[in-house]
Amino acid sequence: MYHALLFFHVLAAFFLGAAVVMFSSFVLGGPRSRPRSLVGDVQWGGGGLGTLALGIWLALNRPEYDLWDGWIIAALVLWVLATGSGAQASRGVQPTADGSAVAIDRRTSFAHWMRVLYVVALLVVMVWKPGA
- Domains of the chain, residue spans: 2-128
For a pLDDT cut of 90, what percent of the chain falls above it? 64
Of 111, 115, 113, nearest in space to 44 by CA:
115
Q: What is the pLDDT of residue 101?
A: 63
Task: Note the Cα 92 to chain centre separation in Å.
Answer: 17
pLDDT at 4 over 80: yes
pTM value > 0.85? yes
CB neighbour burial string for 63-90, b if at least 16 within 10 angstroms, e if fewer? eebeeeeeebebbbebbebbbebbebbb
pLDDT at 100 over 80: no
Residue 120 confidence class, pLDDT cut points 50, 70, 90: very high
Phi, psi of 36, deg, nearest 5: -65, -45
Give the pLDDT band of residue 99 (cuts 50, 70, 90): low
Residue with the larger pLDDT of the pair 61 and 100: 61
